[in-house]
Amino acid sequence: MTQKQPAARIRRSPEQVRAAVHQAVIDLLSEPEGEDLTIPAIAQRSGVNHTSLYRRWGSLDALLADTVTTRLERDSPLNDTGSLRGDLTAWAEASARSMHTPEGRALVRAVILSMPSSTQDQTERSQHFLRRMHSIEQIRERATARGEDPPPLEQILDQLIAPFYIRAIFGIGLPATGYPQLLVDRLLGTADRRARA
Amino acid sequence: MTQKQPAARIRRSPEQVRAAVHQAVIDLLSEPEGEDLTIPAIAQRSGVNHTSLYRRWGSLDALLADTVTTRLERDSPLNDTGSLRGDLTAWAEASARSMHTPEGRALVRAVILSMPSSTQDQTERSQHFLRRMHSIEQIRERATARGEDPPPLEQILDQLIAPFYIRAIFGIGLPATGYPQLLVDRLLGTADRRARA
């Protein structure tokens, strides 16, 4: 197969190709001029022939989803801090750091773009959502194993995850200090009050 | 100018054309198959020649932004309920109703897609954001005029608006009952606690 892009002349391992393609997706989404994210644009940027992209991923949506899953896993090393509050704060601090980088904001855009459209099959959407929430579910499971009583996933979604997404969408910066703690305090504070009610 | 689409043969007023174009944008974003939102697709759907679309709106982004602004204003009739809590609850109830319709979810997608990319000029992004937050700012101003002490806009964003957006993004349904009140209780409850601290 003829490769047109110069970068493709260098022989790369499948994992190097995969990493280059993921990076091309993130780069295209980080650009000021907002170049359209298309298979040909990703081929051009990564130096991987577009027929190879279709063969490997099948569609732009699948490629986007693979990029998101891989990056979210790479960016979320979840050490056990010993408490639910500590784990959630560590998650929020990592998210806050990520949001200060163009790559982090591009990743949020990728997550949003990779969601199945709202009228699609509910099962598919739920699976997609749960894959994205994997690290939060780990935190909840560890808390339960410790005998703590973590808030429901949907409450964590509304109070801890949603603020990061909405600020990425609207390009609103995070408060310089204390934001991760503030969100966790609101989340667990509310959880405590509801438990007592 | 030759109009190719059958619907365009009917002479429409400028306002009818504008409404038809906005509806085409929302329809395209509501579709299960997620047809690409492009000027040619909008031209086809609305029966308005694509050169007319470019002449009137200049770009897809501008057309998307105009659709969003017009629909948000139409969908948010903000009667004064006499209190901050009442106004916020009415806003949240209207948002909850809107999220149960494909059109409402399409509108959220349109808002997200119409945001300037995250690396663009900060002033432009802020103006864009404030136009989207117009109805919330009205509620805050009325509260201040009454002698109430409304939470800062960013806190309302994080605690009241963000949950609706994140659920639309991930296709997570809202709890059947009490959700608007729950969000407002969390928002104003937290505000009270912070004021006492």
Res B86: pLDDT: 95
- In sign, the C-alpha dihedral spanning A42, A46, A49, A52 is negative
Res B128: pLDDT: 67
Tokens 């608007």 — which residue?
B180
Burial bucket for residue B53 (CB in 10 Å: 0-12, 13-18, 19+): buried
Q: Please list, in sequence order, all residues whose beta carbon lies within 8 angstroms of the beta carbon of residue A155, skipping any fewer than 6 positions away.
A: A187, A190, A191
The Cα B99–Cα B72 span in angstroms is: 13
Question: Residue A171 is nearest to which of B109, B118, B186, comparing CB atoms?
Answer: B118
Which residue ranges in chain B fall short of pLDDT 70? Answer: 1-10, 32-35, 75-77, 113-128, 190-197
Question: Residue B102 is nearest to which of A118, A186, A189, comparing CB atoms?
Answer: A118
Helix (H) or strand (E) holding B119: none
Res B195: pLDDT: 42
Residue B174 has a CB neighbour count (10 Å cut-off) of 20
Burial bucket for residue B40 (CB in 10 Å: 0-12, 13-18, 19+): exposed
Question: Residue A163 is nearest to which of B120, B122, B158, comparing CB atoms?
Answer: B158
The Cα B60–Cα B53 span in angstroms is: 9
Burial A151-174 (b: 16+ CB within 10 A, else e): bebbbbbbbbbbbbbbbbbbbbeb
Q: What are the residue boundaries of the structural domains of chain B, listed by start?
A: 10-58, 79-196
Among B112, B108, B16, B154, which residue's Cα sits nearest to residue A105? B112
The token pair at A32 is 């000021």
Res A1: pLDDT: 46
Residue A78 has a CB neighbour count (10 Å cut-off) of 16
* Per-residue H/E/C for chain A: CCCCCHHHHCCCCHHHHHHHHHHHHHHHHHCCCCCCCCHHHHHHHHCCCHHHHHHHHCCHHHHHHHHHHHHHHHHCCCCCCCCHHHHHHHHHHHHHHHHCCHHHHHHHHHHHHHCCCCCCCHHHHHHHHHHHCHHHHHHHHHHHHHCCCCCCHHHHHHHHHHHHHHHHHHCCCCCCCCHHHHHHHHHHHHHHHHHHC
Residues of A in contact with B106 (CB under 8 A): 118
Size of interface A-B (CB pairs under 8 A): 120
| Residue B150 DSSP label | P
CATH topology of domain A6-58: Arc Repressor Mutant, subunit A (1.10.10)
Res A64: pLDDT: 83
Locate the chain B residue with the closest alpha carbon to A191.
B186
Residues of A in contact with B157 (CB under 8 A): 163, 166-167, 170, 172
The Cα A86–Cα A89 span in angstroms is: 5
Residues of A in contact with B111 (CB under 8 A): 169
B155-171: per-residue pLDDT in tens?
999 999 999 888 887 77
Cα of A13 to nearest chain B Cα, Å: 32
Interchain contact, A162 vs B157, CB within 8 Å: no
Contact in structure between B1 and B49 (CB atoms under 8 Å) = yes
Burial bucket for residue B123 (CB in 10 Å: 0-12, 13-18, 19+): exposed
The Cα B142–Cα A119 span in angstroms is: 37
* Mean pLDDT (10-residue bins), chain A, 197 residues: 52 90 88 73 94 91 82 73 95 85 76 61 67 85 96 94 86 87 89 43
The Cα B90–Cα B69 span in angstroms is: 20
Residues of B in contact with A128 (CB under 8 A): 170
Give the CATH number of domain B10-58.
Answer: 1.10.10
What class has domain B79-196? mainly alpha
Helix (H) or strand (E) holding B177: none
